[in-house]
Amino acid sequence: MRLIHVHVPDERREEILRTLDEIGIDYAVLDADDRAGDGALVEFPCRATALAT
């Protein structure tokens, strides 16, 4: 199992979270601080076999 971390800009946040909901992936959202700019950090688990190397 891998934990994926993705920075999501505010303008794409709703679309990305809706997609994760639709495919049944549990996720956590952490709002970015002032140094990181706008957006949020989205974390979700992924099976290691689902990732290309």
Q: What is the pTM of this model?
A: 0.76
User: Dihedral of CA 5/7/10/14: which sign?
Assistant: negative
Structural domain containing residue 41: 2-50
Query: Which residues, in sequence order, are bridge partners of residue 46?
Result: 2
Using alpha carbons only, give the angle 38, 26, 49 rounded to the nearest 5 degrees.
Answer: 105
Q: What confidence score (pLDDT) does residue 1 get?
A: 87
pLDDT in tens, 5-53: 999 998 999 999 999 999 999 999 998 766 556 889 999 998 877 766 6
Domain count along the chain: 1
